[in-house]
Chains A and B, each alone.
Chain A
Amino acid sequence: MSDPMRIRASMAGDKVEVRVLMAHEMETGQRKDASGKLVPAHFIQNISVTHNGRTVLSAQWGTSISKNPFLHFRFGGGKPGEKIAITWLDNLGDKRTDEAIIAAAS
């Protein structure tokens, strides 16, 4: 089971500013372990962010994204108190969704 994401969402002017920290190994499939065996690739492939059921961001990721990725973006149309949901899906089929409430401007 993967660890929860850390999500911070707050108003920045009329936009919602979102910072997400995800716990993921993001193995490239190129690294070898101590015994010389190749460590299989294991990385987040799809990211999607929804706000009130509307997708505000979707992205396809690959192995060039770092371990424990940090995602920072803004979107329009959100208000304080509303909910956003972030979902990632990795190449082994593991999946995780976390939610956060939009805070007032910080």
Chain B
Amino acid sequence: MKRSSLPRAERALRLAAAALFCALCACARAQDSDAQTQKEIERYRQLLAEGNPAELAQARGEELWKTKRGPKSASLERCDLGLGPGVVKGAYAALPRYFRDTDRVQDLESRLVTCIVALQGFTPEEAMKNPFSAPGRNSDLEALATYVAGESKGMKLAAPMQHQKEIEAFRIGEQLFYRRAGPHDFSCSTCHGDTGKRIRLQDLPKLTEPKEAQRVFTTWPAYRVSQGSVRTMQHRLYDCYWQMRHPQLDYASDASIALEVFMAKYANGGTIDAPGLKR
């Protein structure tokens, strides 16, 4: 009895080991093909990036930046984006931040509006009339944001998180991020609070995970292939709010900026790679 049971146990063990080995092989193969798919998607993005149409918006934005416009017939070349009047290089890598003259925390787009109003003499309503482009209708703000962001390409994002108002904006952003509301009882964190989620082929980044937040935050503004135009961070947030069926997120509002500050805190340290190219 004892003699015959021993080999049986050994046989069972061997079988189990063999099964485990096969399972490991299959697992490795699946990972291989996942890696392969990922590599091919990267290659596709690389090919597309060589002809990123966002460059057209960049060129248009640069032209707009230097053109005298508005009742005051001034260009935006004296605009203070946080590093002093007229400094464009690196400005986007240090936003959002607190501005003394407006006594509020501002992101790139709200700051552009401030400059358009202060330097060129447009009213805020005029400046914000057309924040997002549509087929056949360009948006100046979109082009300007693309130009300025592109001038920080390759730099490390370092949004200051020191001023009391910046810390306050972060806290407000945090509240907004986790607050469930609306007919679908959604919050930002419903989609962006976990790793590995996706909608169809679109990966949903976990925005409180630095690696994932960096990848997202540093690649806006981006040319959206599916929309045939450049979109900005403000548009991304506006669209998220629409998708959640929340009340409309006002352009350049304190709430929208607070959400950006919240994201920037986790994305800090990432390398700016704007303008990006997205599906």
User: Residues of A with Cβ closer than 8 Å to B?
Assistant: 3-4, 6, 19, 21, 23, 25, 27, 31, 33, 39, 66-68, 70, 72
Contacts and interface: CB of A to CB of B under 8 A. Distances in A.
Closest 9 pairs between A and B when the two form their complex, measured CB to CB = A70-B51, A68-B53, A67-B228, A23-B56, A6-B55, A21-B51, A3-B60, A21-B55, A3-B56
Nearest to A66: B228
Nearest to B223: A68
B136 interface: yes
Q: Which of A3, A19, A33, A72 has the most CB of B within 10 A?
A: A3
Nearest to A31: B135
Interface string B130-162: 000001100000000000000000000000000
B41 to A, nearest CB: 19
A23 B136 CA distance: 11
Contact of B56 (A19, A21, A33): A21
Nearest to A26: B228
21 contacts: A3-B56, A3-B59, A6-B59, A19-B50, A19-B51, A21-B51, A21-B52, A21-B53, A23-B56, A25-B135, A27-B136, A31-B135, A33-B135, A66-B228, A67-B53, A67-B228, A68-B53, A68-B56, A70-B50, A70-B53, A72-B51
Interface in B49-79: 50-53, 55-56, 59-60
A47 B150 CA distance: 29
Interface of B: 50-53, 55-56, 59-60, 135-136, 228
B51 A4 contact: no
Contacts of A66: 228
B50 A72 contact: yes
A33 B138 CA distance: 16
A19 B53 CA distance: 12
A57 B55 CA distance: 24
Given A70-B50, A70-B51, 15 more contacts: A3-B56, A3-B59, A3-B60, A6-B59, A21-B55, A21-B56, A23-B53, A23-B56, A27-B135, A39-B136, A68-B53, A68-B56, A68-B228, A70-B53, A72-B50
A63 B135 CA distance: 16
A65 to B, nearest CB: 12
Contacts of B53: 21, 23, 67-68, 70
Given A67-B228, A70-B51, A25 B59 contact: no
Q: Which of A31, A39, A66, A67 has the most CB of B within 10 A?
A: A67
Nearest to B225: A66
Q: Which of A6, A25, A39 has the most CB of B within 10 A?
A: A6
A72 to B, nearest CB: 7
A91 to B, nearest CB: 16
Q: Which of B50, B53, B59, B228 has the most CB of A within 10 A?
A: B53
Contacts of B59: 3-4, 6
